[in-house]
Chains A and B, each alone.
Chain A
Amino acid sequence: MRKITGNKNFGLIVGLIVLMILAAVITPDLYSVGSLMNMLRNNCVFVFLAVGEMIVIISGGIDISIACIMALSGCVCSLLQFNHPQVPVFLWLIVAVLIGMVCGMFNGFVVGTLKVTPMIATLGTNYIFRGLAFIISSGAWWYPHQYQMTFQNFSIGKTAGIYNIIWFAGLILILAAVFLNYTTPGRRIYAVGTNKESAKVSGIRESRVMLMSYTICGAICGLSGMLYVANFAVGNFAIGDGFEMTAIAICILGGVSIIGGQGKVGGVFIAILMMSIITSFISMLPGLSVWQDAIKGAIIIIAVGINIWTARSTRRQDLKERGALL
Chain B
Amino acid sequence: MGDYILELKDVVKTFGGVQALKGVSFQLKPGEIHALMGENGAGKSTFIKVITGVHQPDSGTMLLEGEQVTFRSPLESARMGIAAIYQHVTAFPDLTVTENIFMGQEIKNKMGFYNWKLMNQKAKELIAPLSPTLDVRKPMSALSVAEQQLVEIAKALSRNARIMIMDEPTASLTNHECEELYRITENLRDQGVSIIFITHKFEDMYRLASRVTVFRDAEYIGCWDVDQITNHDLISKMVGRELNQMYPEKTAQIGQVVFEVEGISKEGYFKDVSFDVRQGEIVALTGLVGAGRTEVCQSIFGIMPPDTGSLKLNGQTIHVRSPKDAFRFGIGMLPEDRQIQGLINELPIYQNVTSAAMDKFQRYGIINVEQEKEAALGFCQKIQLKAESIQAPPSSLSGGNQQKVVFAKLLNCDLKVLILDEPTKGIDVGAKSSIYEIMNELASGGYAIIMVSSEMPEVLGMADRIVVMKAGRVTGTFDKGEATQEMILEASLRQKEAGA
Contacts and interface: CB of A to CB of B under 8 A. Distances in A.
Interface residues of B, number: 34
B357 to A, nearest CB: 34
Given A194-B92, A201-B74, A201-B86, A187 B106 contact: yes
A184 interface: yes
A202 interface: yes
B94 A184 contact: no
Interface in A278-310: none
B94 A262 contact: yes
Nearest to B473: A326
A207 interface: no
A258 B144 CA distance: 24
B92 A195 contact: yes
A261 to B, nearest CB: 4
A198 interface: yes
Contact of A203 (B90, B104, B144, B269): B104
B95 interface: yes
Contacts of A183: 112-114
Interface stretch (A129-137, A143-151, A265-273, A316-324): A316-324
Contacts of A195: 90-93
A134 B161 CA distance: 59
Contact of A198 (B90, B141, B147): B90
B358 interface: no
A117 interface: no
Given A200-B54, A326-B267, A326-B271, A190 B92 contact: yes
A42 interface: no
A233 to B, nearest CB: 39
A315 B139 CA distance: 11
Contact of A319 (B74, B92, B103, B144): B144
Interface in B78-106: 78, 84, 86, 90-95, 99, 103-104, 106
Contacts of B114: 181-184, 187
A191 interface: yes
Contacts of A190: 92, 94-95
Contacts, number: 76
Contacts of B271: 326
A257 to B, nearest CB: 7
A233 B147 CA distance: 58
B103 A202 contact: yes
B268 interface: yes
Contact of A194 (B86, B95, B112): B95
A194 B144 contact: no
B299 to A, nearest CB: 14
Interface string A190-221: 11011101111111100000000000000000
A36 interface: no
Contacts of B270: 326
Interface in B131-148: 141-142, 144, 147
B92 A261 contact: yes
Nearest to A191: B92
Question: Top 8 closest A-B pairs, CB basis?
Answer: A203-B75, A261-B94, A324-B144, A182-B113, A194-B94, A325-B268, A198-B90, A182-B114
Given A182-B113, A187-B99, 5 more contacts: A184-B112, A191-B92, A201-B84, A201-B90, A325-B268
Interface of A: 178, 181-184, 187, 190-191, 193-195, 197-204, 257, 261-262, 315, 318-319, 322, 324-326
